[in-house]
Structure 1
Amino acid sequence: MATGSSTTGIKRVKNPAFNDLLEKRYFQFFRQRTVASTNSIANCRFWDRVVLQACHTTPAVKHAVLALSSLHQLSSLPFDDGRGSQHRIYAERQHKKALEEARTLIATSTPEDVDRILIACIIFIIFEGVRGDYTAVSVHMDSGRAIVAQHLDRLKATSRRKDLEEIEHALARLDLPAICFSDQSSPYRYTLMDFYHTSPFLTPCRFQDIHEAQVSLVDLARWLLLAGDHIDFAELHGDLRSMAKYQAEKVKCAAQVEEWYGHFLDAVDRTDNSDRLLILTLKLWHSCMTMLIRAETYGPEMRYDAFMPLFERTVQYGEQIVERLADRNHTRSFSLELGYIIPIYVTATRCRDPYLRRRAIDLLQKHPRQEGVWKSLAAAAVASRWVAVEEEGLGQVRYSTDVPEHRRIRFIDTQVDIEGKVASVKLTTRGGEKSHEVSAGWKSESAHVTPN
């Protein structure tokens, strides 16, 4: 649906939530295309009920949604399409209005308005993530967490608990990709203590359905990755006491992940075929998490070579997800929710088997998809350069053991240039002997890498 026509002469519409026909068109695109694409893996009540209803009552949410709809339409156009500038201008205009309305909402709010403020905050996080301003993402994420922490007691007691649960879960799902991707200009600052204060779902029990299992796994994944980040930081500073402390956290998390899997399989047995894509996605994440748990957080990169079956299982789940999405015409899609990109990217970079990692990269390249801040083509570009750096000069690599330890990438640092639409990525070997910088652009739904 093209909505980039001039606003001159746009008629006003009767629906009081919208000022003119153009707003109505952008909202319909969001409802019919953005929400549908986002829900391609799992139906999410937050998007198809909570957000859509808030658009009709909260101007800050409405304008933020219209801005996000504009970016979605912009992302679907070829780079040289003239309508792109119109979508971009409209997105900026609506984003500005949304920020103004949000300031008014906050200035005049009562404790009962916390849900509307959080919804707007979540849309702002996603908007900034889609356009690549990760500093702004970090600011909005901090604001959202602070609001939840400030109102946690009331959130637990409110009569509107169901909607607020959906809002809290949506914020938690946004936290997971933030842990996995942190730009140098906006490093991830959330701590395990901050995480515990949100009362995460860390003790799995019998799940009522697969969606409840998803909530639990997201919190367990956040726990695992946060503990890993803390261990990395402690190792970098030679803090052995902290390393032991956070390793103990990881061990506790591992036990809960194992317990989660048993309850998950029980829920799968009670689930109909409509949730098969979500089941595959949770299996994919569980497989990747199991690999990260067993591989430990620190040690030689060659430790990953022992987990080829888990890497292969992860890729197989990803291929099955893409095949099912293709059956539903959602392979080239734009989603505001988590999917398969992060685990497949982890496989492409940490698995050194030449066949498996190229299957993972192929999956990211052949089926362009965006999941929040993660773009499959940009991820494929970085992973491709990662492989080239590790295998350069080695001749024909047949097995993972053909890539020696000193050639393997250990650290990755990213710096995003939002104006130039380019991400500079520094890849550093474990011993620090070499550093490589690449640029991963995402203009016109494509990505490229070139040595700096």
Structure 2
Amino acid sequence: MTLSVDEYYQMHPSTTPDMEFNTFAEAHASLTDLARLVLIADIPSSDSITGASNWNMDVYNTERANCVILVRRWKTNFEDLLCCHPDAAPPLSINMLRMMHATTSIIIAAGEFGPDTRWDEHYDGFVEIVDLAESIVAELCQSGCQSYFSVEQGYIDGAFLVATRCRDPVIRRRAIEVLRRVPRQEGIWQSAGAAAVAQRWMEVEEEGPKAPECASDVRTRVSSARTSANVDASSVRLQLYMSTRESAHPVVREEYVQWQKK
């Protein structure tokens, strides 16, 4: 589907998410709407929009700043809710929602424009996501089930964000291990496939005679990626758009990634 800028405006939500919630279910609905608002705010960078050269960056920056405020406000209200009602939901559900918030916070704070090193500023947020993901997976493993499915967002997309956008070698490997540990599907996200793609993404970025010791050592970075998955064959065609410090022009690299079904 190709959208004009006018059509994009028509898609934009006319109201902001309700930040006044009194139950866990209301908090969940509020954050879901907020995450959707954040994703729509980032649409201008998509290839699906024509007339991008006419895009008003002032509008984008205003929308982004508004989302940042709403994300922070949601966090404050959610912690107030838990303070008044500590048993509002099981710990697993609470951690899932906290992880969704942490992921949404980084996405809107980093934005869609600027050097790829902008992600390095969110180290603390990446650590928070991995800590929450490890806690969630540990609790899932205690249930004794061999596979899991959820129609809702859980920990996979957040762990994948860390595995691909955090260039700290220790933290991103923790994220990949989280994805590998439990065979799980959340909506369209499959943990095994996400782990395989993230592993290859990391390997490509870390190619060189010396393994990176910190994020600043990663000189070649994937700025964006496109995937074409064959779920039945447990494989994906991966196109990596790479930027380097030595070149102003991105390099496209194509990879084929496979993983084992569990």
TM-score with structure 1 length normalisation? 0.52
Question: 1:195-206 residue pairs with structure 2 within 5 A?
Answer: 195-196=12-13, 202-205=17-20
Q: Tell me the alpha carbon deviations over residues 9-57 of structure 1, each in whole angstroms, 9 at most, x when there is no partner.
A: xxxxxxxxxxxxxxxxxxxxxxxxxxxxxxxxxxxxxxxxxxxxxxxxx
Q: 1:373 aligns with which of 184, 188, 191?
A: 188
Instruction: Provide the residue aligned with 1:208 in structure 2.
Output: 22
Q: 1:310 aligns with which of 107, 125, 128?
A: 125
Q: What CA distance in whole angstroms lies between the structure 1 residues aligned with 2:66 and 2:227?
A: 31
Deviates more, 1:431-440 or 1:368-377: 431-440
Q: What CA distance in whole angstroms lies between the structure 2 residues aligned with 1:275 and 1:419?
A: 35
Alpha-carbon offset, residue 245 of structure 1: 1.4
How many aligned residue pairs are there? 255
Distance 1:295 1:191, change over 3 A: same
- Find the structure with the greater CA-based Rg: 1
Query: Is contact 1:209–1:271 with CA below 8 Å preserved after alignment?
Result: no
Q: What CA distance in whole angstroms lies between the structure 2 residues aligned with 1:387 and 1:235?
A: 29
Q: What CA distance in whole angstroms lies between the structure 2 residues aligned with 1:361 and 1:217?
A: 25
Q: Does 1:339 align with 2:154?
A: yes
One-letter amino acid of the structure 2 residue matched with residue 252 of structure 1: N
Instruction: Provide the residue aligned with 2:251 in structure 1.
Output: 434
Distance 1:310 1:392, change over 3 A: same
Q: Tell me the alpha carbon deviations over residues 250-284 of structure 1, each in whole angstroms, 9 at most, x when there is no partner.
A: 11111111111111111212141752111111111
Instruction: Provide the residue aligned with 1:297 in structure 2.
Output: 112
Instruction: Provide the residue aligned with 2:42 in structure 1.
Output: 228
Distance 1:263 1:192, change over 3 A: farther
Query: Is contact 1:234–1:240 with CA below 8 Å preserved after alignment?
Result: no
Q: What CA distance in whole angstroms lies between the structure 2 residues aligned with 1:331 and 1:273?
A: 28
Secondary structure of the 1:196 match is coil
Q: Does 1:349 align with 2:156?
A: no
Secondary structure of the 2:261 match is helix
Alpha-carbon offset, residue 441 of structure 1: 3.7
Instruction: Provide the residue aligned with 1:359 in structure 2.
Output: 174
Alpha-carbon offset, residue 398 of structure 1: 0.4
CA RMSD of aligned residues (A): 2.7
One-letter amino acid of the structure 2 residue matched with residue 342 of structure 1: D
Instruction: Provide the residue aligned with 1:386 in structure 2.
Output: 201
Q: Does 1:193 align with 2:10?
A: yes
Q: 1:253 aligns with which of 67, 86, 93?
A: 67
Question: 1:10-21 residue pairs with structure 2 within 5 A?
Answer: none
Q: Which runs of 5+ in 2 are unaligned?
A: none
Distance 1:421 1:387, change over 3 A: closer
Q: What CA distance in whole angstroms lies between the structure 1 residues aligned with 2:242 and 2:51?
A: 18
Alpha-carbon offset, residue 237 of structure 1: 6.3
Secondary structure of the 1:349 match is helix
One-letter amino acid of the structure 2 residue matched with residue 413 of structure 1: R
Secondary structure of the 1:416 match is strand
Richer in helix (by share): 1
Instruction: Provide the residue aligned with 1:66 in structure 2.
Output: none
Distance 1:261 1:397, change over 3 A: same
Instruction: Provide the residue aligned with 1:413 in structure 2.
Output: 226
Q: What CA distance in whole angstroms lies between the structure 2 residues aligned with 1:373 and 1:224?
A: 19
Secondary structure of the 1:426 match is strand
Q: What CA distance in whole angstroms lies between the structure 2 residues aligned with 1:282 and 1:363?
A: 17
Secondary structure of the 2:167 match is coil
Q: What CA distance in whole angstroms lies between the structure 2 residues aligned with 1:343 and 1:303?
A: 17
Distance 1:286 1:331, change over 3 A: farther
Q: What CA distance in whole angstroms lies between the structure 2 residues aligned with 1:359 and 1:188?
A: 38
Query: Is contact 2:153–2:187 with CA below 8 Å preserved after alignment?
Result: yes
Secondary structure of the 1:408 match is strand
Query: Is contact 2:2–2:49 with CA below 8 Å preserved after alignment?
Result: no
Q: Which runs of 5+ in 1 are unaligned?
A: 1-185, 446-452
Distance 1:388 1:418, change over 3 A: closer
Secondary structure of the 1:239 match is helix
Q: What CA distance in whole angstroms lies between the structure 1 residues aligned with 2:209 and 2:52?
A: 33
Q: What CA distance in whole angstroms lies between the structure 2 residues aligned with 1:443 and 1:309?
A: 32
Q: What CA distance in whole angstroms lies between the structure 1 residues aligned with 2:224 and 2:75?
A: 30
Q: Tell me the alpha carbon deviations over residues 163-184 of structure 1, each in whole angstroms, 9 at most, x when there is no partner.
A: xxxxxxxxxxxxxxxxxxxxxx
Richer in strand (by share): 2
Secondary structure of the 2:22 match is coil
Instruction: Provide the residue aligned with 1:396 in structure 2.
Output: 211
Secondary structure of the 2:225 match is strand
Q: What CA distance in whole angstroms lies between the structure 2 residues aligned with 1:273 and 1:413?
A: 39
Q: 1:285 aligns with which of 82, 100, 112?
A: 100
One-letter amino acid of the structure 2 residue matched with residue 214 of structure 1: H
One-letter amino acid of the structure 1 residue matched with residue 82 of structure 2: V
Alpha-carbon offset, residue 421 of structure 1: 4.9
Instruction: Provide the residue aligned with 2:33 in structure 1.
Output: 219
Q: What CA distance in whole angstroms lies between the structure 1 residues aligned with 2:94 and 2:233?
A: 38
Query: Is contact 1:318–1:344 with CA below 8 Å preserved after alignment?
Result: yes
Q: What CA distance in whole angstroms lies between the structure 2 residues aligned with 1:440 and 1:295?
A: 27
Q: Does 1:268 align with 2:85?
A: no
Q: Percent identity?
A: 32
Distance 1:236 1:304, change over 3 A: farther
